Amino acid sequence: MAEGTEAEGLVFHPMDQFVVKPLFGGDTIAWHTPTNVTLWMAVAVVCVILLFVVGTGRRAVVPGRVQSVAELGYSFIRKMVEDVAGHDGLKYFPYVLTLFLFIVFSNFLGLIPGAFTTTSHIAVTAVMALLVFVSVTVIGFVKNGAGFLSLFWISAAPLPLRPVLALIEIISYFVRPVSHSIRLAGNMMAGHAVIKVFAAFAPLILFSSLGFLVTPLAILAIVAMYALEMLVCFIQAYVFSILTCVYLRDALHPHH
């Protein structure tokens, strides 16, 4: 009995929420098809505009509620860029702020039940991570010329060790965009899938005699995971932008 009813309880797959679907019906997806991904990306951009353009439009000396939230986010990221990337890294602060705001809004919008988490797709995060990787490499070569290669040649290490370390450094440099993108996408996907797994156990009280034990636990677990996810959403956006700053610091000051 237990097996049959449990199969009935799990009527949806926990990964179903990450399927990209066209918004206006149909099956084929071309590059110009509006999908649920494009919709939620647009919603994230609109939210950023609402907060930063409309919210600070009046520019009061004594800020209102929306303006103070915008100012808080602005000064938080600005301080982070200055602390991590150094004073000359402030030139790239608008880029880091854009990345952070887009990621943080995508993450939090994805927490709305029924919404789509755009940052849970590696395709989305890989584009952001590759852009960071390419621009950081270009900045490094433009600012330091061939001196940027000293990032891989660690002069503090003993001479026989240096070629080995150079190899390791080169590998870790090229793995950066991979880990940078997968960290964000994996965290988002894992958290949402866990919530969905518990959601599948929640209606068990309707199907099974053991449901009165499982259902309250499942609902409690959903609430706890949701709270954790709210923390993770912010921390992952923070980590993405702080790692961008770390890579920028390496590009601006490659000498260890």
Partner 1 sequence: MELVAATALGKYIGAGLACTGMGGAAVGVGHVVGNFILGALRNPSAAAGQTATMFIGIAFAEALGIFSFLVALLLMFAV
Binding residues for partner 1, rule CB under 8 A, total: 17
Which two structure tokens, joined as six digits, stand for 66? 């929306």
Instruction: Choose which of 48, 84, 151, 225 interacts with partner 1 (CB under 8 A).
Output: 84
75 sits near partner 1 (criterion: CB under 8 A): no
Assign residue 145 a region: left if phi > 0, alpha if psi is -120 to 50, beta otherwise? left
209 sits near partner 1 (criterion: CB under 8 A): no
- Subset of 150-189 contacting partner 1 (CB under 8 A): 179, 182-183, 186-187, 189
Which two structure tokens, joined as six digits, stand for 18? 């990450």
Instruction: Pick the closest to residue 125 from 177, 49, 173 (CA basis).
Output: 177
Q: Which is nearer to partner 1, 80 or 139 (CB)?
A: 80
19 sits near partner 1 (criterion: CB under 8 A): no
Termini Cα distance of the chain: 65
CA distances for 123 relative to 37, 76, 105, angstroms:
11, 28, 17
Instruction: Choose which of 47, 111, 149, 239 interacts with partner 1 (CB under 8 A).
Output: 239
Distance CA 109, CA 47 (A): 9
Q: Which is nearer to partner 1, 129 or 205 (CB)?
A: 129
CB of 33 to partner 1, least distance (A): 23
235 sits near partner 1 (criterion: CB under 8 A): yes
Question: CB of 129 within 8 A of CB of 241?
Answer: no
54 sits near partner 1 (criterion: CB under 8 A): no
Residues found near partner 1 in the complex (CB under 8 A): 15, 80, 83-84, 179, 182-183, 186-187, 189-190, 235, 238-239, 242-243, 246
